Amino acid sequence: MISKTYPHHMLKEIFEEPEALKRTIDLERDRIRRIASEVNSGDYEVIYITGSGTSYHAGLASQYALSNLTGLMTTTLPASEFNRWVPPQILRKTLLMAISQSGESVDVIRAVEAASQRGIPLLAVTNTSESTLAKKADYRIIPRSGRELAIPATKTYVTQLLSIFMFSVDLASEKRGNGGFSEAEEGLCRAPRIVEETLRSLRSQAREAAEAFKDKRAVFILGSGPNYATALEGALKLKETCMVFAEGFATREFLHGPMRLADERTLMVLMASADEVRDAVRLGNSLRGFGASVIYISEESRGASLLLENSDWTFLVSSGLQQIFSPILYVLPLQLLAYYMSIARGLNPDKPEKLTKVVR
């Protein structure tokens, strides 16, 4: 036991996220602005993003931000598939963003080598400044998560997201040559406080929900837009820590076949931004009609009361971030739920069997 407040590294690291985010803003802001300026000068037309596991999910959320803010063609590929999917001859000026907590993942390094053979420069996003990935990079962003001892990635994920969101805002500002992104930048600077408020408000709820749903056979997490990536990441956390069958889906894709699996043994987690609440409630009611339990994740808004009235459980994250950056917040209740469900099932969330921190 680490302490009475934080019995495991995973929980301690989740609650270190606000400070890690603040540190990332303070120490990386100038570097990210400089890199954004240099990348803009490079006149890139295409950005490939790659990573594995949690870093791949960070890349997927980043693709949503980069493509929407900058207008650049952006594609995310799993690192292990990069060499197979990227054509051998690159006809447009292309940049690779490779994301890795350790900077030593063998699949990410192989993807970087494949990109190098195609003449593609590298922007590395890694928490480890002296890693192999960092040394190979033309540009380096170093999220300041600090050391992470639990195998499931938590604070490294949110600092990766924040770093790339900051880069996306700065690159968009450089490309458009105006100050129209100051509101987005100010919003990201509020992220540490908003994350702290959300974690503090949800801790006891997550513990109670985990106890209530610990015996569910399967968990399906649904999200749309940038939170499709959050659905994938939340499912991965549950698999890693709880040994439960968990899958993430784009919300309406669940209707195209997988909904056949919803029954009384199933827990459904539906993420809904303020403009998606009514659609989410309609879907949730259908799923409850099949016997499934339903948890909603949304933000504090006028529609929140509708969720509270029509669910088995509702987690409300603090408002204050633009929707494009909401994966930083929506992942928090999923991290807490995974931790407490692992404890409720008698498992050690810090050291899941069969897994290692770095896949070599």
CATH 3.40.50.10490 fits 192-344, yes or no: yes
> Which whole-number Å values give the CA distances from 134 to 47, 95, 107, in the listed order?
18, 15, 15
Q: Where are the domains of the chain?
A: 9-189, 192-344
Q: Which residues partner with 246 through β-bridges? A: 219
**Cβ burial, residue 105 (10 Å; 0-12/13-18/19+):** buried
Domains 9-189 and 192-344 share a fold: yes
Mind listing the pLDDT tens digit of every residue in the chain (360 residues)?
A: 578 889 999 999 999 999 999 999 999 999 999 999 999 999 999 999 999 999 999 999 999 999 999 999 999 999 999 999 999 999 999 999 999 999 999 999 999 999 999 999 999 999 999 999 999 999 999 999 999 999 999 999 999 999 999 999 999 999 877 666 778 888 899 999 999 999 999 999 999 999 999 999 999 999 999 999 999 999 999 999 999 999 999 999 999 999 999 999 999 999 999 888 899 999 999 999 999 999 999 987 776 777 777 778 899 998 889 999 999 999 999 999 999 999 999 999 999 888 787 776
CB 71 within 8 A of CB 43: no
Give the CA radius of gyration of the chain.
20
Q: Which CATH architecture has domain 9-189?
A: 3-Layer(aba) Sandwich (3.40)
